[in-house]
Amino acid sequence: MEIKKVHIQEMAQLILCKQLCFLNINTGNFEHHPEEIDLFLDEKNPWQEVIDKIEANTNQYIRIEPMNANQSFTVMESFVNQLADTKFRKKLLAALYQPKPFRNFNNLIHQSHLRQSWFYFQQEKSIAWVKQQISYQVDE
């Protein structure tokens, strides 16, 4: 099965945005919905049709899992280790090895000139992650 590059890129971005992605192994298309859906008691779930479609055809879909905390930490650490700015690199590494490393890292990176570089790096790692999962699950 051929999966379009744009679909892989979209799934990579969506899992970074806390969406659950499900690849249809027959068509190469995918469905997605938020990981958490907060509704009022009388509110209808706007994602219910997508959820029902996936649940009714579970044998046709594979779930693209988001990275766990350890994997996400490794991505942040890889980004930091490839930085040329040694002063900022040391500051980021210190932040990663204190309590609440994700918050510390994000606070520093979002206030820096490297914010966009981080987004590109994170997206590339997410694309590689999605490709790896597809390869592992589809080629079994």
**How far apart are alpha carbons 91 and 84 in whole angstroms?**
13
pLDDT class for 118, splitting at 50, 70, 90?
Answer: very high
Q: What is the pTM of this model?
A: 0.86
Distance CA 77, CA 85 (A): 14
Query: How high is the pLDDT of residue 135?
Result: 87
pLDDT in tens, 18-55: 899 999 999 999 999 988 777 667 778 787 898 899 99
pLDDT above 60: residue 140? no
Query: Does residue 107 sit in helix, strand or coil?
Result: helix
pLDDT at 102: 96
Structure tokens at 121: 């790096």
- Mean pLDDT, to the nearest integer, of 79-88? 94
What DSSP string runs through 48-94? HHHHHHHHHTGGGEEEEPPP-HHHHHHHHHHHHHT-S-HHHHHHHHH
